[in-house]
Amino acid sequence: MNRKSRIRIRYLVLLAGLSIVQTARGDESLSHIIPDEAPRPTAYATLTDQQIIIDGRLNEKAWESAETIDGFVQAKLQEGYPATEPTSVKLLYDDVNLYVGAVCYDSEPDKLVIESLQQDFETHNSDVFALTLDTFFDRSNAFMFLFNPMGAIKDGQVFNDSRNPNLAWEGVIEVKTVIHDEGWNVELAIPFSTLRFDPSLDEQKWGLNFLRRVRRKNEDSYWAPLPRRGRVHKMSKAGTLLGIKGIKSGRNLSVKPFGSVGSNGGENSSTADGGADIKWGVTPSLTLDMTYNTDFSQVEADRLQINLDRFPLFFPEKRDFFIENAGAFTFGDVTERNYRMGASLRDFTLFHSRRIGLEKGSPIPIVAGGRLTGRVKDVELGALAIQTERLEDSPAEQFQVFRLRRNMEGNSDIGAMVIQRQETAASDDYNRSFGVDANLRFFGNLVVSSYLAGTTEPGSGGGNLAGRISTGWRDGFWDISAFYKEVGEQFNPGVGFVRRNGVRHAYATLGAHPALASKRFYKLNPYGEFHYVTDLNSAVVTRTASAALDFHFRDGSVMGVKGVSRFERVDSPFSIGEDVTIDAADYSFGEIIAFYRSNASLPLFGNLRLSSGTYFAGEKSTLSLNIAGRVGYRLTASATSSINNITYSGQNVTANVYGLRFNYSHTTAIHSSIYLQYNTVSDEVVSNLRVNLIHSPLSDVFLVILDHRNASTGDAIDRALVLKVTKLFSL
């Protein structure tokens, strides 16, 4: 009887409810467990002197001597029960690499769901094998690697015990996958130079977990058991990896120069440019990134948005230099995974990197910059310095950011942050932000978060403080949160984002997540929310009450309905497009919202959201429809639309946004995409074509064509054609 057959028989016994012994956990029956109460498992890596060929075959003799890691336990759909499809993992290492070999057995390999070949593919829509490595064993921070059956990669870093995942990080690894009659294999080599760890230790002790996702069954299972709301990067619940001895991290120095040529469509528009990024592991736990003449021409254009309210819109950061290690600089309305917190960084963040090198969405050249991130014992630090050029009406500026965070027992932390923005030529023109914060965890499920922040600039008086205290409880059933926040009228973070000044904001929510013993439904989520916002004189300016009920189906689809009642006091008129002006007055209105998100494992899937109700002194109905489809795993397409019909003071206004995207991947190294957008309010159309060839690890060739114009007149707003080449050199 071969090894594969033995593993299959073991899982048949498990699924029949019989007791077995799993070596990593001792004498414990896995017919059913409570994941949060189960002991954390331990695995061992085996030293090898044999050359391992990364081909997905796992046929080297060294693999036979490695310990077998199995016994994965479901988080969903059947929390605490053995996985229905077994997974077997082995770990080897030499003085250069950690090798991971996994066999993902599948009783129906012809039904594997493969989302795409793109790097950073949508992992929730695909079969997946993943692992996380907490290389400093702090039970908080980790490197994460996810793979689909065709070898597409999604990697990243995770900070603060799953609170701040950073999926822009990329590491040099080698991976191959093979699909066969009994499932699929993953074989990979992770160079120790890609990771950060303490080389002074004779034997490493790392946190470790594995994830196996069988998408057609909507099943997630983990080696170190997690509850249904868990994630593979929840490192406080991870297992332990032992056995790696005498390894070194190397010089940890890499240089990535770039060269580009292009045209912006105007006279004398041809350009040629070059620059470089340098990454240096100053210590095993501190990394210095430096950039010269930074170029972001390959970054995709922002998605068009329609503002139907009187507060500014938040646009996310897309530039890799600022996204990488962004978790080190997080400060503001931080959310907790699986908690409904009522506010997010889209409401307030003390540091928003889009305020550097962008002015109203247009790029400002960055001369040079540096970033130091990492840890010194129990202290996490981040330091950033950037110099921008003068461009037309935008002066040359210097930006400095400094962040400290001290980790404490139980994955709690306290921290401080200081930010300065200053014109290079005018020392008296500056904006400074500063703050302290704390994120505390008690009893495993209780979180308490708070911050106090301030700003100062020439001529500023009082009212320049902001603070919040929030608390939340989340267990397998209840979801309860509340906060109180106050933002001064003159609070102005010059390198941050604040949605609303001069307010006191109270929030509370109560929800539940009962599991259902049903053939169709997986769980219910009834909840209610209440927002109460006053000005600084305690006069009510916003009051929102809502009640909702979400149905989670066993195939991964979700359906829900929500009723909302609102009160708004408008002190100053504001406009919606060119035709509607909301007058200063008090308004009471409400709406009903219904949505459906279909099973994303199907070749054709989508999201539908409908809302209808009153809108200030008028009426508004909204239809949002997103449809996506896959032709095999190479071609994906999606169409998005947001259609808003507004009736106000006898005016009938439509405010719509449409989008169309095609992605084609010839291999995991050759990708192309085209994205079209149209906004009826601004009457703008944007098209973006992007071709990417990954010619060697972390080295790319990009071809980007951007066209942004007025749809009615055809006048160009922005046009660009760029060819960019990068090459990573590890020294």
State yes or no: pLDDT of 24 exceeds 60.
no
Is the same domain home to 220 and 315?
no
Q: Are 447 and 475 in contact (CB under 8 A)?
A: no
State yes or no: pLDDT of 701 exceeds 60.
yes
Is the same domain home to 445 and 318?
yes
State yes or no: pLDDT of 596 exceeds 50.
yes
> 221 exposed, middle or buried (CB, 10 Å; 0-12, 13-18, 19+)?
buried
The whole-chain average pLDDT of the chain stands at 89
* pLDDT in the model for residue 168: 75
Phi, psi dihedrals of residue 103, rounded to the nearest 5°: -110, 115
State yes or no: pLDDT of 22 exceeds 70.
no
Is the same domain home to 351 and 473?
yes
Bigger pLDDT: 379 or 418?
418
Is the same domain home to 211 and 75?
yes
Q: Does any domain span residue 282?
A: no
Two tokens at 89? Answer: 């993992």
> Strand 46-47 relative to strand 87-93: parallel, antiparallel, unpaired?
parallel
Two tokens at 218? Answer: 């909507």
Is the same domain home to 227 and 353?
no
State yes or no: pLDDT of 292 exceeds 80.
yes
Q: Which of 464, 486, 503 is the last residue of a domain?
A: 503
Is the same domain home to 190 and 79?
yes
For 364-393, b/e burial (b = at least 16 CB within 10 A) is bbbbebebbbbbeeeebbbbbbbebeeeee
3-class secondary structure per residue, 485-515: EEECCCCCCCCCEECCCCEEEEEEEEEECCE
Q: What angle do CA 371, 723, 730 make, to 5 degrees?
A: 45
- The DSSP string of 645-662 is EEEETTEEEEEEEEEEEE
The per-residue pLDDT for range 395-417, each reduced to its tens digit, is: 899 999 999 999 887 678 999 99
Is the same domain home to 456 and 375?
yes
Bigger pLDDT: 698 or 214?
214
* pLDDT in the model for residue 244: 96
Q: Does any domain span residue 581?
A: no
Q: Which of 207, 224, 242 is the last residue of a domain?
A: 242
Q: Does any domain span residue 564?
A: no
Is the same domain home to 107 and 14?
yes
Is the same domain home to 233 and 378?
no
* pLDDT in the model for residue 266: 59
Q: Does any domain span residue 539?
A: no
pTM score, two decimals?
Answer: 0.85
Q: Say whether 260 sits in a helix, a strand or coil.
A: strand
In which domain, by residue range, is 141 found? 3-242
Is the same domain home to 12 and 154?
yes
**Residue 599 identity:** N
Two tokens at 167? Answer: 């999926």
3-class secondary structure per residue, 398-443: EEEEEEEEEEEHHHEEEEEEEEEEEECCCCCCEEEEEEEEEEEEEC
Is the same domain home to 80 and 221?
yes
Q: Does any domain span residue 678?
A: no
Is the same domain home to 53 and 133?
yes
Question: In this structure, what CATH number is given to the domain that contains residue 185?
Answer: 2.60.40.1190
Residue range 111-124: mean pLDDT, rounded: 91
Task: Choose the weakest-confidence range: 120-124, 337-341, 565-569, 647-651.
Answer: 647-651
Q: Are 290 and 369 in contact (CB under 8 A)?
A: yes
The per-residue pLDDT for range 209-246, each reduced to its tens digit, is: 999 999 999 999 999 999 988 899 999 999 999 999 99
Residue range 534-553: mean pLDDT, rounded: 96
**Residue the block writes with tokens 């290492």:** 93
Q: How confident is the model at residue 10 (pLDDT cuts 50, 70, 90)?
A: very low
* pLDDT in the model for residue 568: 95
- The DSSP string of 129-172 is EEEEEETT--SS-EEEEEE-TT--EEEEEEETTTTEEETT----
* pLDDT in the model for residue 337: 80
Q: Does any domain span residue 373?
A: yes
State yes or no: pLDDT of 669 exceeds 60.
yes
* pLDDT in the model for residue 673: 95
* pLDDT in the model for residue 460: 79
Q: How confident is the model at residue 268 (pLDDT cuts 50, 70, 90)?
A: low
Q: Which of 184, 209, 242 is the last residue of a domain?
A: 242
State yes or no: pLDDT of 5 exceeds 80.
no
State yes or no: pLDDT of 371 exceeds 70.
yes
Task: Choose the weakest-confidence range: 15-24, 554-563, 716-725.
Answer: 15-24
d(CA 144, CA 155) in angstroms, rounded, equals 5
> Strand 521-535 relative to strand 362-363: parallel, antiparallel, unpaired?
unpaired
d(CA 294, CA 274) in angstroms, rounded, equals 8
Domain count, the chain: 2
Q: Does any domain span residue 626?
A: no
* pLDDT in the model for residue 229: 86
Q: Does any domain span residue 679?
A: no
Q: Are 168 and 159 in contact (CB under 8 A)?
A: no
